[in-house]
Each structure stands twice: as C-alpha cells, then as structure tokens.
Amino acid sequence: MTRETVGKKGGLYCYLITPFDAQGDVDHAVLERYTDEIITGGADGVTCIASTTEGVYLTQAERFAVVKTVCDTTAGRVPVNVAIGDISTRQVMNWAENAQKAGASTMMLEMQTHLPDIRFTDVVQHYHDIAVNVDVPIRLYNIPRTTRYDMTPQMIAELAAVDGIDSVKDATGDPHRVRDIRALTGDRFALYTGLHFVARESYRYGAIGWEAAYHPLFTKDMVALHRLLRAGDPAGAALYKKMEPLFVFFRHYGVPQCIRAMSAWSDLNLGQPRPPLPRLTDLQSEQLKSLMKQSGYI
C-alpha cells in the first residue's frame, strides 16, 4: 500500500491495550497473542501506544519495544497505525523515526499541548514538519478531552494543505463533526470515528472507519457491526442496540479499565492499569460482568 492509500481505505482498527504482567511490566507474549487473535478475528488494522492503549504510561524503551512486537507479529497482514503524539515537534520526530523503522503503515498524530500559547500557525507547522520527514501517511487525531486542543472542522480543512495527512480520526464525541469535516473537505480525508458510543451516527454522517479498543471476547460483533454500519445495512441498528449498553459503560468508566477488567474473565488477561490510572471498583466490575453476560460475551 502506498502513502496515499493506506489510511484512505478506512476499516475497523483495533486499539491494542498494552498488556501488563503481575509485576506491572509489559507482557510481550500476551501482546503477540492479542495482536494475532485480533487480526485473525477480522480487524482491518491495529493501533498501538495511543491514548486508550496507554502509550503515555510507557517509558521510551517500552514504547519502542511495543511497536516492534506489534509490527513483527502483524507481519504485513494488516496495516499498523502507531501513535506518535507528544508535546514537542522534536519528540514527535523521535517517535516517528522509530515507528517508521519498525514498519508502521500509518502514524497517528494528535495536537498535545502543555502551555496555552500554541497558535494555529504553529499547529500547521508542527504537522508539516512531521509529514515532510516521514514516508508513511499521517492520521490526524482530534481528542480534545486529553489534549486540551480542539481541531475544529475549519482547522482540519486548512490542514488539508499538508499532503502527508490522509485521514482524520474524530474523538470529540460529537458525530456532527464528521458531517462538517466531510462538508468542508469532501473526499480529501478518510474519516474515522474514535468512540464506541457515537459509531452509528458517525457512519451515517460519512465515516468509513472505526478505531476503537476491544477484546477478542467481542471481536465477532465489532467486525460485523463495522461492516453493517459502513454498508448502511439496517441490520446494523439491531446489533448496535445489543452492544450499546456496553459502549455507554465504556464512556462512563473508561475504555482501558473496562477492557482490562473483562479480560480477567477470558484466557487472554491483559492485566491491571498502570498507576495512577485507576482500575474499576468491585461494584463497577460486577456491573460490567453482568452486561457481558447479558450480551453473551462471557
């Protein structure tokens, strides 16, 4: 796949939760198995070390090792999208260079901020400087809840001038953003939704991809739901209704915490969150377990 076509294909990308062992270290054996099961289950791509995959909680050495494990395990079967976001352009280039060497198919870049002085001209320069120094496409990622920087549809339309960006992932929680980006940019970008609870509306407004964390316990339904929603098949509404209580639970109690908790009821345990990210309380865990049973996932 060329620079111009990787992200443009759309599809279902699984955010691979980074597995931790009992000592809190990255468990690469579990990561290999997790990656393989997600791919054989029908995912169109995998994503690592991004927001929900807890990349910010990893050391540099751990990040590099996770990217290598995922790329090696994937072995070209599906695209690997590697998150490269950080505060400075210099640090982003460090992540980007490593991802490219490891075999990343695409790179996902959000606009992280620390001080409130970043101007939009600085944002454009930031994306331009990364794009001209890498050979794979960039997926622009808008997740203002964590970055404290909102890439509005108008801003994204202006960033269309950066040739290296081929897709946009919206994680604002507002599906109308997909509609507005499509209206302002036409077919310039492939649009991905990033949150479970707005997936149905996002596809209706023009998304052709979905990038979200999930566990092999419910891979079959995630793959089926993506395909039905992308095709505009009415059967997608019934499947979404079945899964919606789970998606709402994710929204309120945290996706990585929920995926990790449910993994304990499987033979692919992803471990506990790395502190200070909290684990689910006993009550929340029991509520999640009840939802999983009701849906037939455990």
Asked whether the beta carbons of 207 and 228 are under 8 A apart, the reply is no
Which tokens sit at 148? 């404290």
The yes-or-no answer on residue 214 being catalytic is no
DSSP one-letter code for 17: P
- Residue 141 among the catalytic residues: yes
34, 127, 169, 214: the active-site residue: 169
Strand partners of residue 169: 141, 192
Cα–Cα dist 170/72, whole Å: 28
Sequence-ordered list of residues with C-beta below 8 angstroms from that of 14, at least 6 positions apart, any chain: 38, 43, 45, 46, 47, 212, 213, 214, 219, 222
Tell me whether the omega of the peptide bond preceding residue 144 falls within 30 degrees of 0, making it cis: no
Identify the active-site residue in 141, 192, 205, 214.
Answer: 141
Nearest to 6 by CA among 72, 97, 103, 143: 103
Q: Could you tell me which of 182, 220, 221, 223 has the C-alpha nearest to residue 201?
A: 182
Residues with a known catalytic role: 141, 169
